[in-house]
Amino acid sequence: MVPKELIQAIEVGDVRKFYKSTVWKHKRKEILKRDNFECQRCKSKGRFSKAEIVHHIKHLRDFPELALVNDNLKSLCATCHNEVHPEKFEKFRSNWEERNEPITKERW
Q: Does 77 bind Zn ion (CB under 5 A)?
A: yes
Q: Does 41 bind Zn ion (CB under 5 A)?
A: yes
Q: Does 7 bind Zn ion (CB under 5 A)?
A: no
* Contact with Zn ion (CB under 5 A) among 10, 39, 54, 73: 39
Q: Does 75 bind Zn ion (CB under 5 A)?
A: no
Residues 9-38 that bind Zn ion (CB under 5 A): none
CA dist 66 and 63 (Å) reads: 6
CA dist 72 and 27 (Å) reads: 12
Contact (CB, 8 A) for 72 and 27: no
* Contact with Zn ion (CB under 5 A) among 18, 21, 24, 55: 55
Nearer to Zn ion, 62 or 98 (CB): 62
Which positions ≥6 away from 51 have C-beta within 8 Å? 32, 35, 37, 38, 39, 40, 75, 76, 77
Residue ranges binding Zn ion (CB under 5 A) = 39, 41-42, 49, 55, 77, 80
